[in-house]
């Protein structure tokens, strides 16, 4: 896990060493264990190292092949690198390090761009091919690792984070108004190749990009996800066994590390599953990266409406793991949010991200790698709102009785959520009226369940959550690993019929069956989904209120073309006075204003 950056001068000049080094310096938090650069004519590559596998200096990057015709900068992990190493050695390749980075180089030599299909892991890398005079860039299937780029002044620039690209004075001087408008109106980001900075792009998940002296080509997709649209069918027991076996192996691979590994434990089903699987492997296989006793990290709150201590206690009692907890204080909340926004590079849609940030800060005292349950909800229909497209799809296919069973099941298990959601829908619709932007509707839950899940995994939700997790973990020099996004698990779940994801109003049906006897029923059968959440509404009404009032009252805020400042302030005051309900539009507007001030240096 590292930070990468580089420049490819397209007009025949030489790479700017000062610029490339300045870009790398802005990524120091991603790689405090080492740094390196390589310059060769038009190409300049830089790397900041977070040493996880092969801690020796032989793992330093940029790394070259034997004859120096290939140079790579790589961020991520290829978990199956030992198996690939054996295969490549049998084909005649010789290795001088124990790193997965060198495996990528030899795999590229042997199989070319098709090498990506052999990797199980997360990656963003760039390979300079001296013979072809081209830069080959690639990002992993699900987009766990980031890759940003821009074309400016006759150069192609790339980096792990946008802030590194901003080292060039011509980059990031204007916001991308269309992306910002969509964020303000619908709370989405990372759903396209554009970013909230004008002319700064991200290589989308499962895409490659080739840059030559003629310029950058069009990004090309190398992997597709096909979702099963069948409403029912299949063997429940076989599906549960298959999922458990795959998840166990996904966790096993992600425990490969030469540094200590811990676990994020929220008390929900997904993180508890990962915790329990590690505990099982610790008893049977004793992976050295875990140590004698698994270390877990959790966030708790004084407000019982958001606190999951009792569920965390249940997992600790069942597994005997060591558990450390943090209760975020509010004394430094505003200052923390400022650093959080700097690390994220772009405004974020809610303060739920802050809980994860606090957990990563806590974990950084003891481990350099954490596993967590990210990605399970989007694959398994874990959000309660997914019930609506499921019922809609059943009705379209004429499965009336099945649709009614889901309606009654949803009402039985989640009645309070649907009542809240109906009220929130009206509030949010009204609050969008505070905006002066023209943003096409982004309706996350439109279509049938298979359509919604495919979109959530590849565009509308998961890429945003992975953005948050990468920056939150790397802010504290921690590598976050996500077993539910092992591509084998993803393809397996995508192939299951829909009733193995939601059945009778119960979400994550097949996972609940798969972990029977592994995770305590008090957690396995939970219907009150939370995860790492924060008391955002409480904070926005109390601790953060003076700061938000200052923002909404400032002359700079009033001059923005994105919102009706007077109505925003009035509406927020009504919420403070208890005359209207809260909705996240308030936070999105406030966060956007703080972010926008970096473009004009406003301080009022």
Residue 161's nearest CA partner among 71, 251, 75 is 75
Task: Give the separation between CA 144 and CA 79, rounded to whole angstroms.
Answer: 14
The distance from CA 189 to its chain's CA centroid, rounded to whole angstroms, is 12
- Give the contacts of 514 (CB within 8 A, at least 6 positions apart): 239, 240, 241, 243, 244, 247
- Which contiguous run of DSSP H or E holds residue 155? strand 155-159
Tokens read off for 104: 């990528």
Using CA atoms in the order 8, 9, 14, 16, what is the torsion angle rounded to 10 degrees? -70
Residue 101's nearest CA partner among 57, 64, 143, 56 is 64
Catalytic residue among 2, 38, 115, 137: 2
Determine the 3-state secondary structure of 141 from DSSP: coil
* CB-CB contact of 80 with 121 (8 Å): yes
CA-to-CA separations, 185 to 378, 434, 476, 584, in angstroms, rounded? 22, 9, 31, 11
Q: How many CA atoms lie within 13 A of 439 on its CB side?
A: 24
- Give the contacts of 306 (CB within 8 A, at least 6 positions apart): 530, 533, 534, 535
* CB-CB contact of 140 with 104 (8 Å): no
- The crossing angle, in degrees rounded to 10, of helices 565-576 and 585-600 is 140
* CB-CB contact of 381 with 437 (8 Å): no
Q: For the chain, what percentages of helix, strand and coil (3-state, to nearest 5) are there? A: 45, 15, 35
E strand spans, 10-132: 34-40, 43-49, 63-64, 70-78, 121-129
- Say how many C-beta atoms besides its own lie within 10 A of residue 430's C-beta: 14
- Told to judge if 358 belongs to the known catalytic residues of this protein, a careful annotator would answer no
- What sign for the dihedral angle of Cα 557, 560, 562, 567? positive
DSSP 331: T
Task: Give the separation between CA 146 and CA 131, rounded to whole angstroms.
Answer: 27
Task: Give the separation between CA 202 and CA 200, rounded to whole angstroms.
Answer: 7
Exposed, middle or buried: residue 291 (CB in 10 Å: 0-12, 13-18, 19+)? middle
* CB-CB contact of 481 with 77 (8 Å): yes
Task: Give the separation between CA 311 and CA 315, rounded to whole angstroms.
Answer: 7
Residue 381's nearest CA partner among 401, 410, 356 is 410
Q: Contacts for 328-332 with beta carbons within 8 Å, 24 or more apart?
A: 328/299, 328/301, 328/354, 328/355, 328/358, 328/534, 330/539, 330/542, 330/543
Task: Give the separation between CA 386 and CA 454, rounded to whole angstroms.
Answer: 12
Question: Counting every residue, how long is the chain?
Answer: 604
Catalytic positions are 2
């Amino acid at each position: 896990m590292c930070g990468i950056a580089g420049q490819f001068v397209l007009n025949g000049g030489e790479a700017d060493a000062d610029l490339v080094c300045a870009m790398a310096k802005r990524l120091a938090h991603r790689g405090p264990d080492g740094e390196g650069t390589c310059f060769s004519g038009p190409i300049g590559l830089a790397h900041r190292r977070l040493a996880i596998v092969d801690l020796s200096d032989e793992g330093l990057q940029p790394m070259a092949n034997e004859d120096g015709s290939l140079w790579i900068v790589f961020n991520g992990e290829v978990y199956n690198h030992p198996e690939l190493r054996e295969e490549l050695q049998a084909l005649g390749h010789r290795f001088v390090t124990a790193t997965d980075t060198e495996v990528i180089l030899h795999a590229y030599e042997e199989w070319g761009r098709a090498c990506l299909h052999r990797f199980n892991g997360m990656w963003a890398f760039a390979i300079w091919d001296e013979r072809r005079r081209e830069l080959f860039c690639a990002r992993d299937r699900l987009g766990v690792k980031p890759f940003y780029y821009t074309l400016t002044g006759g150069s192609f620039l790339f980096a792990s984070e946008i802030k590194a690209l901003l080292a060039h004075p011509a980059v990031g001087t204007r916001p991308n108004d269309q992306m910002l408008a969509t964020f303000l109106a619908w709370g989405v980001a990372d759903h396209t190749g554009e970013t909230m900075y004008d002319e700064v792009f991200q290589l989308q998940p499962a895409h490659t990009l080739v840059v030559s002296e003629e310029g950058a080509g069009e990004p090309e997709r190398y992997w597709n996800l096909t979702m099963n649209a069948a409403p029912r069918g299949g063997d429940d027991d076989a599906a549960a066994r298959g999922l458990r076996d795959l998840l166990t192996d996904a966790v096993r691979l992600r425990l490969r590390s030469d540094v200590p590994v811990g676990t994020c434990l929220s008390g929900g089903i997904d993180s508890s599953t990962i915790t329990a699987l590690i505990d099982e492997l610790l008893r049977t296989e004793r992976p050295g990266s875990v140590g004698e006793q698994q270390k877990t990290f959790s966030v708790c709150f004084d407000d019982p409406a958001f606190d999951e201590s009792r569920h965390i206690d249940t997992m600790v009692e069942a597994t005997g793991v060591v558990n450390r907890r943090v209760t975020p204080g509010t004394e430094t909340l505003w200052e923390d949010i400022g650093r959080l926004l700097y690390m994220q590079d772009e405004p974020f849609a809610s303060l739920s991200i802050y809980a994860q940030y606090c957990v990563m800060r806590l974990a950084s005292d003891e481990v350099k790698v954490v596993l967590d349950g990210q990605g399970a909800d989007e694959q398994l229909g874990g959000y309660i709102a997914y019930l609506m497209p499921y019922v809609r799809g059943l009705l379209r296919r004429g499965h009336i009785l099945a649709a009614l069973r889901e309606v009654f099941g949803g009402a039985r298990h989640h009645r309070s959520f649907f009542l809240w959601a109906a009220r929130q829908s009206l509030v949010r619709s009204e609050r969008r009226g505070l905006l002066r932007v023209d943003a096409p509707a982004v309706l996350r839950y439109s279509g049938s369940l298979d359509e919604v899940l495919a979109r959530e995994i590849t565009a509308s939700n998961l890429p945003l959550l992975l953005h948050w997790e990468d920056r939150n973990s790397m802010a504290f020099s921690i590598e976050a690993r996500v077993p539910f996004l092992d591509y084998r698990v993803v393809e397996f779940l995508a192939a299951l019929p829909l009733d193995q994801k939601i059945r009778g109003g119960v979400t994550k049906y097949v996972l609940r069956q798969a972990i029977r006897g592994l995770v305590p029923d008090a957690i396995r059968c939970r219907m009150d989904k939370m995860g790492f959440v924060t008391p955002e509404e409480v904070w926005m009404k109390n601790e953060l209120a003076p700061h938000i009032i200052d923002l909404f009252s400032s002359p700079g805020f009033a001059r923005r073309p994105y919102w009706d400042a007077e109505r925003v302030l009035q509406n927020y005051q009504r919420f403070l006075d208890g005359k209207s309900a809260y909705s996240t539009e308030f936070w999105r507007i406030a966060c956007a204003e703080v972010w926008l001030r970096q473009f004009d240096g406003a301080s009022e």
